[in-house]
Amino acid sequence: MLLLAAGLAGGANTIKSQNMDKAGKRFISFAVWGRYLLDLGIGTPPPVGVNGGPPAVTAGPTAYTSLPVPVRSQGQLQVAFMVCPYVLRATGSKIWTPCKVARYDPVNNKLISEVRVLPADFGQTDSPDQPMTGNVSVPSGMSGITFDNLKNRMFDLYDVLFEAWAVNPSTGGHGKLQGEAREFVRIFDQISAPPLRPYYDALGREYFGWVRAVAK
């Protein structure tokens, strides 16, 4: 965790983000969050069974880290990530329901909390002991380069939209951002893992609901 924090701090110094909160504090660019957290994962998930069987011994799951989820908790802005057990296989990758949610301060990348979660915490009925169905890799028919380009563009849009939402979480007065919001929704729906979309909607209900409202 200290390594991740050091990496984020270093990356934040190299990216000139103009994202500010109401107090004028500079937000860490979402490109930095993506570079360090999505690639490295957060923490280690508990052992899970493969194909519903007993926990794997020699080929246990790694951590799959979700896309960033902006949240506001008791008035505090946070960037949250879901962590899921994940098994990468040539015959088809498998992902389990989120087992952990980590929340960070968007200004100084300080870890605020890291808690165990169950599907019920998201209003879902999936079994945490069984892999979810649905693709969690690069979408069919999309090249890895196209996927990376879309992800990078989405991080740029995160920066613009997060700043606006942080200052004014109401949907009024954001008409000029309709184009960016529509593009964000389109890309997010293209590259986010389908099995996790109900979990994104539950955890980031306020932010994603705001983006979709602005996009209309």
Which residue has better confidence, 23 or 166?
A: 166
The secondary structure of the chain, three-state, reads CHHHHHHHHHHHHHCCCCCECCCCCECCCHHHHHHHHHHHCCCCCCCCEHHHCCECCCCCCEEEECCCEEEEECCEEEEEEEEEEEECCCCCCEECCCCEEEEECCCCCCEEEEEECCHHHHCCCCCCCCCECCCCCCCCCCCHHHHHHHHHHHHHHHHHHHHHHHHCCCCCCCHHHHHHHHHHHHHHHHHCCHHHHHHHHHHCHHHHHHHHHHHC
Please compute the mean of the pLDDT values over residues 185-195 and round it to a whole number. 94
Q: Which pLDDT score, from 0 to 100, does residue 25 have? A: 59
Rounded to two decimals, the pTM is: 0.79
Q: Which pLDDT score, from 0 to 100, does residue 90 have? A: 66
- Could you read off the pLDDT of 116-151 as tens digits, one per residue? 999 999 999 999 999 998 888 788 889 989 998 999
Q: Highest-confidence range of 4-8, 60-64, 184-188, by mean pLDDT?
A: 184-188
Mean pLDDT over each residue of the chain, to the nearest integer: 79
- Could you read off the pLDDT of 47-77 as tens digits, one per residue? 444 444 333 333 455 778 889 999 999 989 9
Q: Which pLDDT score, from 0 to 100, does residue 210 have? A: 96
